[in-house]
Amino acid sequence: MDVMISRYARIAWPLSADQPVNAAYTSSILNIAYELFETRIRSGLRPLYRGIEPQGTLEAIETEIRNVLQQAWGCDGARKRENILKLKEKLNIAWNEDGEARIEFLEFLKLGAMWYS
């Protein structure tokens, strides 16, 4: 993920496909990103399951961006950067030589090789 390389929380501007789900997951669950809501258009302006009702006006967009940038350079941004480092460490452990992710991936490759041989 790009946030682990840069170590800065990303600002997600979800447009379509898997982007809204990824933005919600990284901002609400992992707490390593900020999600923009006011930039949504058309059906994206309907109330969200998280209780947010985007207005979609230029003023609302401007206010949201200012708020996100203030948070990103304050305590909230520091917390997100800490979360990024913790997640990076977990992924490093999982992909080490004897890590769970690496072991499972190698097993998957072995199954694929058996299937196609």
pTM summary value: 0.78
Segment 67-80 mean pLDDT: 96
Per-residue pLDDT band for 76 (boundaries 50, 70, 90) equals very high
Number of domains in the chain: 1
CA torsion through residues 19, 21, 1, 97, sign: negative
Range of the domain at 32: 2-116
- Whole-number mean pLDDT of the chain? 89
Q: What is the DSSP string of 4-57?
A: HHH-S-EEE---STTHHHHHHIIIIIS--EEE--TT--GGGGSPPTTS------
Query: Would you say 84 and 77 are in contact if contact means Cβ atoms under 8 Å apart?
Result: no
The span from the CA of 15 to the CA of 25, in Å, is 15
pLDDT tens digit sequence for 12-56: 998 888 898 999 999 999 999 999 999 887 766 677 777 888 888
Rounded distance, CA 44 to CA 13, Å? Answer: 12
- Predicted pLDDT at 1: 61
